[in-house]
């Protein structure tokens, strides 16, 4: 775990993942270091421009799927900055009584959500680190809204890639998975290592060194473990655009793997 304390450090002296991602989606809540990092990544990889939308579109399809399956409670871990079609927009569109808790360890992202949600009943945002599941699951703002005895959708959308293996992502995913009751779902979309070329890996090392932020790409085998004990919803673990597409889509980048598991 790095020495930086993301819960208290606003991180304006360098790029922050939520703001880099916001910039790559055409958002306005980003600054010079975020734009430089995003531009360098967009220039370095031919598929980079596809990733933010592949990710966001998968998230929306997955949330709609869960809503159709009757899920009315959502915990969005690593929610980032608000954008278009946030989880609570979709959930409240289907059911105004749906409950949504956003979680991020970036205080700037959380404040933006809190401001957006201040007059929205049934939704809140908390500043917490996904590496501490117990603190999140027992957080009073979460327990006030979410009842884990009923189905909950836990979203980890481009979040686990920020958690290096040394911080033991398997244990944190297991803790959230175990909190689910039958009918609850775990939704994951994350960077896949299977299709990376040697040149991509070298560029990744170079960008990591330049910006001091590191993403972890994982194999499809590794992803399967995150869904231990859950039933993978059809079509299983696939490239993000191939997960229950609702319209024709461009050729996938091959870099984002996505899946939804249901607790039996
Ligand atoms: C690329 S953004 C994804 C935003 C959103 N989930 C989406 O896909 O549209 C990654 C987010 O994960 C957050 N994050 C990274 N590590 C985290 C951690 N340990 N705990 C909570 N959030 C984390 C970052 O601050 C950032 O907002």
* pLDDT tens digit sequence for 191-215: 999 999 999 898 888 888 888 777 8
Q: Is 80 in the pocket of ligand 1 (CB under 6 A)?
A: yes
Q: What is the DSSP string of 41-72?
A: HHHH-TTGGGHHHHHHHHHHHHHHHHHHTT--
User: Rounded distance, CA 14 to CA 73, Å?
Assistant: 34
pTM for this model (two decimals): 0.93
Q: Is 21 in the pocket of ligand 1 (CB under 6 A)?
A: yes
The Å distance, Cα 233 to ligand 1 centre, comes to 24
Cβ(82)–Cβ(116) under 8 Å?
Answer: yes
Assess if residue 6 is contained within a domain.
Answer: no
Q: Is 78 in the pocket of ligand 1 (CB under 6 A)?
A: yes
Q: Which two tokens stand for residue 149?
A: 């005895």
User: Rounded distance, CA 160 to CA 186, Å?
Assistant: 13
Assess if residue 9 is contained within a domain.
Answer: no
Q: Which two tokens stand for residue 163?
A: 């958690």
Assess if residue 7 is contained within a domain.
Answer: no
Q: Is 54 in the pocket of ligand 1 (CB under 6 A)?
A: no
* pLDDT, mean of residues 5-31: 77
Q: What is the DSSP string of 150-216?
A: S--EEEEES-GGGS-GGG-HHHHHHHHHHHPPTT-EEEEEEEBSTT--HHHHHHHHHHHHHHS----
Q: What is the DSSP string of 95-139?
A: -TT-EEEEEES-HHHHHHHHHHHTT-TTEEEEE--TT-HHHHHT-
* pLDDT tens digit sequence for 44-60: 788 888 999 999 999 99
* pLDDT tens digit sequence for 228-237: 999 999 999 9
Look at residue 9 in the predicted model and tell me its pLDDT: 65
Assess if residue 1 is contained within a domain.
Answer: no
Assess if residue 73 is contained within a domain.
Answer: yes
Q: How confident is the model at residue 4 (pLDDT cuts 50, 70, 90)?
A: low
The Å distance, Cα 163 to ligand 1 centre, comes to 10
pLDDT greater at residue 108 or residue 16: 108
Q: By three-state DSSP, how is residue 248 classified?
A: coil
Look at residue 257 in the predicted model and tell me its pLDDT: 98
Look at residue 104 in the predicted model and tell me its pLDDT: 97
* pLDDT, mean of residues 165-187: 98
Q: Read off the CATH number of the domain in which 167 is found.
A: 3.40.50.150
Provide the β-strand partners of residue 102.
76, 125
User: Rounded distance, CA 53 to CA 58, Å?
Assistant: 8
* pLDDT, mean of residues 230-258: 95
Q: What percent of the chain has pLDDT over 70?
A: 95
pLDDT of residue 106 exceeding 70, the answer is: yes
Assess if residue 8 is contained within a domain.
Answer: no
The Å distance, Cα 139 to ligand 1 centre, comes to 18
Look at residue 2 in the predicted model and tell me its pLDDT: 46
Q: Is 162 in the pocket of ligand 1 (CB under 6 A)?
A: yes
Q: Is 261 in the pocket of ligand 1 (CB under 6 A)?
A: no
The Å distance, Cα 20 to ligand 1 centre, comes to 11
pLDDT of residue 6 exceeding 70, the answer is: no
User: Rounded distance, CA 196 to CA 178, Å?
Assistant: 32
Domain count, the chain: 1
Assess if residue 11 is contained within a domain.
Answer: no
Look at residue 10 in the predicted model and tell me its pLDDT: 66
Assess if residue 170 is contained within a domain.
Answer: yes
Look at residue 1 in the predicted model and tell me its pLDDT: 42
Quote the domain boundaries for residue 252.
Answer: 17-262
Look at residue 11 in the predicted model and tell me its pLDDT: 67
């Amino acid at each position: 775990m790095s020495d930086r304390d993301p819960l208290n450090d606003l991180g304006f002296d360098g790029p922050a993942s939520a703001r880099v991602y916001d910039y790559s989606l055409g958002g306005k809540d980003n600054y010079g270091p975020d734009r430089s990092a995003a531009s360098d990544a967009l220039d370095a990889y031919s598929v980079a421009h596809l990733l933010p939308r592949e990710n966001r579109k998968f998230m929306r399809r997955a949330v709609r799927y869960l809503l159709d399956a009757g899920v009315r409670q959502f915990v969005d871990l690593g929610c980032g900055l608000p954008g278009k079609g946030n989880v609570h927009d979709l959930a409240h569109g289907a059911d105004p009584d749906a409950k949504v808790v956003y979680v991020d360890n970036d205080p700037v992202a959380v404040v933006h959500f809190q401001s957006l949600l201040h007059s929205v009943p049934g939704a809140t945002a908390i500043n917490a680190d996904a590496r501490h599941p117990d603190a999140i699951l027992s957080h009073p703002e979460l327990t006030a809204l979410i009842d884990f005895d009923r189905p909950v959708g836990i979203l980890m959308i481009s979040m686990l890639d920020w958690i290096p293996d040394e911080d033991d992502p398997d244990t944190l995913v297991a803790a959230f998975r175990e909190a689910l009751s039958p009918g609850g779902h775990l939704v994951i979309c994350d960077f896949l290592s299977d299709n990376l070329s040697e040149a991509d890996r070298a560029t990744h090392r170079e960008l990591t060194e330049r910006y001091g932020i590191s993403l972890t790409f994982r194999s499809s085998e590794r992803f399967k473990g995150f869904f231990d004990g859950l039933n993978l919803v059809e079509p299983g673990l696939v490239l993000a655009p191939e997960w229950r597409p609702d319209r024709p889509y461009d050729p996938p980048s091959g870099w984002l793997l996505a899946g939804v598991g249901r607790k039996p």
